[in-house]
């Protein structure tokens, strides 16, 4: 690298993927400026502070902490010097209308006990499942998701024939679970992770048994101060590494001339020049709305066809008193489990039988709420904006809230309206407006077979030199650990190409 301009990288957006990319690029000697439109970094992993409550806007389940440890270690630091992670154990309880409960735990004895209760004699199946999913997890992280590979044959070619067969890429997620479990409750619980991946367990590849496995093997964690406590730690790491972080700095265009990136234009009209731009704005939004090129940009119509994960309506309630009958994380699953996926993904409507997730993080970190109060987070999946054209989202949110409260009541959990001291609600419209999420999709591009690995939106532009992508809709995928890996991968990509 020669001139100062060639060493300059502009990172557009300040989500976790952006922060990770910025740290890695800085460590490789680039001058990095991060431009975030919002008042603070973190992206979807944002913060609402109200009336003494501290709510995480998006992610609430932290898994694979080793990915964050690696990020800090790359900079010669220790994660634990920046943020303390509190274990959430038992991790997550699934509940059905018929009163059945199933609790996941990273303590194998507890998990065995739960499976035995729902499926007597299942211990050998549990061991077989853990062995099988553990092997998938090893193969996924050692050979598939942690490196930049653009060629499908080369990607899968790294696997031995035995490993390839074991991935379950050609079987459905549910099909993999059926190999091990007879109990529909166990299968529904473990398969419900598909919702965040943008498919149903009946369609998505069997490889994704690594999700429930990963949670059990590596535990679920709550950073002290909430998930935003972790974001603050990563932001500090980036600033200490020398990244220039600018907030309230919206980029209105990524400018390309003659097939190369030239810089970005800010909302106030200023142009910042750089030959390297990494966009952390949701990749399909970047391609359809931000890139301004003097040549036809074929990625734009392609991006518009990306299959996205669902939207969500999220509620943040500051509640007076304890919320009896709920642990830290609970997922309420409907009796018509398949119907919920069909409504969401095929029929394009809010599921009649509504699955939803509730977290009470103040149960683990009391500092997230005023003394004696509870911070409650509710997430219900919805179709994306284009699947419900003309929807009145505040009315949808009102109906969802009513159904959530009714269901909670049936389960013996009462959150009486007079106890709700403050409330915030985000619909898919808010998620799009606040964070630029394409079509209001909460988790980014779906993880269907043809949108994973080398088939997913690559982390570089094939048309515009100098344009790169980081975050949930590019490789390797969605979720906090994945976007942190995405940051390392894009930094490696840039270093390979620029030096």
Ligand X SMILES: Cc1cc2nc3c(=O)[nH]c(=O)nc-3n(C[C@H](O)[C@H](O)[C@H](O)COP(=O)(O)OP(=O)(O)OC[C@H]3O[C@@H](n4cnc5c(N)ncnc54)[C@H](O)[C@@H]3O)c2cc1C
Residues that bind ligand X (CB under 6 A): 12-18, 35-38, 43-45, 58-61, 250-251, 280-282, 312, 314, 379, 435-436, 442-443, 471-472, 478-480, 483
Closest distance between ligand X and the C-beta of residue 132, in Å? Answer: 23
Closest distance between ligand X and the C-beta of residue 398, in Å? Answer: 19
- Both tokens assigned to 358: 């509730």
Closest distance between ligand X and the C-beta of residue 463, in Å? Answer: 20
Closest distance between ligand X and the C-beta of residue 75, in Å? Answer: 18
Distance CA 106, CA 329 (A): 14
Closest distance between ligand X and the C-beta of residue 433, in Å? Answer: 10
Q: For 147-156, which contacts have Cβ atoms below 8 Å and span 24 or more sequence positions?
A: 147/489, 148/459, 148/475, 148/489, 148/492, 148/493, 148/496, 149/453, 149/454, 150/454, 150/458, 151/454, 152/453, 152/454, 152/455, 154/454, 155/453, 155/454
Bridge partners of 257, per DSSP, are 260
Helix 173-180 × helix 184-191 angle, to 10°: 140
Residue 48's closest CA among 316, 232, 230, 314? Answer: 316
Place of tokens 């994660």: 79
Closest distance between ligand X and the C-beta of residue 98, in Å? Answer: 26
Closest distance between ligand X and the C-beta of residue 158, in Å? Answer: 25
Residue 249's closest CA among 41, 110, 403? Answer: 41
Distance CA 43, CA 35 (A): 12
Strand, coil or helix: what is 454?
helix
Closest distance between ligand X and the C-beta of residue 108, in Å? Answer: 23
Distance CA 271, CA 442 (A): 30
Closest distance between ligand X and the C-beta of residue 83, in Å? Answer: 15
Closest distance between ligand X and the C-beta of residue 16, in Å? Answer: 5
* 212 contacts 192 by C-beta, under 8 angstroms: no
Cβ nearer to ligand X, comparing 345 with 442: 442
Is there a cis peptide before residue 90, judged by omega within 30 degrees of 0?
A: yes
Cβ nearer to ligand X, comparing 16 with 88: 16
Cβ nearer to ligand X, comparing 126 with 428: 428
Size of the chain, expressed as the number of residues it contains: 499
- DSSP H or E stretch at residue 229: helix 227-241
Pinpoint the alpha helices (H) of 242-377. Answer: 283-285, 299-303, 337-341
Is there a cis peptide before residue 476, judged by omega within 30 degrees of 0?
A: yes
Cβ nearer to ligand X, comparing 11 with 319: 11
Cβ nearer to ligand X, comparing 12 with 216: 12
Closest distance between ligand X and the C-beta of residue 351, in Å? Answer: 16
Q: Which residues contact 345 (CB under 8 A, 6 or more apart)?
A: 198, 199, 200, 310, 383
Cβ nearer to ligand X, comparing 1 with 267: 267
Closest distance between ligand X and the C-beta of residue 143, in Å? Answer: 22
- Both tokens assigned to 68: 């964050």
Cβ nearer to ligand X, comparing 37 with 323: 37
Cβ nearer to ligand X, comparing 281 with 308: 281
Q: Which residues contact 233 (CB under 8 A, 6 or more apart)?
A: 79, 82, 83, 223
Closest distance between ligand X and the C-beta of residue 314, in Å? Answer: 5
Cβ nearer to ligand X, comparing 172 with 314: 314
**Pairing between strand 356-359 and 373-382?**
antiparallel
Cβ nearer to ligand X, comparing 44 with 95: 44
Cβ nearer to ligand X, comparing 58 with 205: 58
Cβ nearer to ligand X, comparing 205 with 481: 481
Cβ nearer to ligand X, comparing 126 with 380: 380
67 to 141, 221, 247: CA distances (angstroms)? 11, 13, 25
* 67 contacts 283 by C-beta, under 8 angstroms: no
């Amino acid at each position: 690298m020669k001139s100062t301009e060639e060493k300059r990288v502009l990172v557009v957006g300040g989500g976790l993927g952006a922060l990770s990319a910025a740290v890695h690029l800085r460590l490789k000697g680039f001058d990095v400026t991060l431009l975030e439109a919002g008042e603070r970094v973190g992206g979807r992993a944002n913060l609402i502070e109200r009336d003494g409550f501290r709510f995480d806007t998006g992610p609430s389940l932290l898994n694979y902490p080793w990915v964050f440890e690696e990020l800090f270690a790359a900079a010669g630091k220790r994660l634990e010097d920046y943020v303390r992670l509190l274990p959430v154990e038992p991790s997550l309880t699934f509940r059905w209308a018929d009163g059945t409960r199933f609790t996941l735990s990273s303590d194998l004895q507890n998990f065995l006990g739960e499976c035995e209760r729902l499926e007597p004699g299942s211990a050998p199946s549990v061991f077989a499942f853990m062995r099988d999913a553990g092997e998938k997890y090893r193969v996924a992280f050692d050979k598939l998701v942690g490196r930049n590979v653009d060629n499908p044959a080369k990607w899968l070619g790294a696997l031995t024939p035995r490993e390839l067969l074991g991935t379950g890429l050609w079987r459905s997620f549910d099909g993999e679970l059926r190999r091990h479990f007879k109990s529909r409750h166990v299968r529904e619980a473990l398969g419900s992770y598909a919702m965040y991946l943008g498919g149903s367990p009946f369609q998505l590849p069997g490889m994704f048994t690594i999700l429930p496995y990963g949670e059990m093997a590596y535990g679920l964690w709550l950073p002290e101060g909430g998930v935003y406590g972790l974001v603050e730690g990563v932001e500090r790491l980036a600033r200490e590494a020398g990244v220039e972080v600018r907030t309230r700095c919206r980029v209105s265009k990524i400018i390309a001339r003659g097939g190369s990136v030239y810089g970005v234009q800010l909302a106030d009209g200023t142009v910042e020049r750089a030959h390297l731009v990494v966009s952390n704005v949701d990749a399909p939004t970047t391609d359809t709305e931000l890139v301004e090129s003097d040549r036809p940009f074929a990625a734009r119509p392609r991006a518009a066809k990306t299959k996205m994960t669902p939207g969500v309506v999220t509620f943040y309630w500051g509640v007076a008193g304890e919320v009896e009958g709920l642990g830290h994380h609970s997922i309420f699953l409907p009796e018509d489990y398949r119907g919920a996926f069909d409504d969401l993904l095929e029929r394009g409507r809010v599921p009649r039988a509504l699955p939803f997730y509730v977290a009470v993080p103040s149960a683990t970190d009391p500092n997230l709420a005023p003394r004696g109060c509870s911070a409650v987070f509710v997430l219900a999946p919805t179709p994306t904006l284009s699947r419900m054209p003309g929807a009145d989202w505040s009315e949808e949110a009102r109906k969802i809230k009513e159904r959530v409260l009714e269901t909670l009541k049936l389960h013996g959990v009462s959150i009486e309206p007079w106890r709700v001291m403050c409330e915030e609600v985000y619909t898919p419209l808010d998620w799009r407006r606040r964070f630029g999420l394409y079509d209001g999709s909460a988790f980014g591009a779906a993880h269907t077979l043809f949108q994973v690995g080398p088939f997913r939106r690559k982390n570089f532009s094939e048309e515009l030199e100098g344009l790169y992508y980081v975050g949930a809709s590019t490789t390797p995928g969605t979720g906090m650990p994945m976007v942190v890996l995405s940051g390392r991968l894009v930094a490696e990509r840039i270093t390979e190409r620029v030096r």
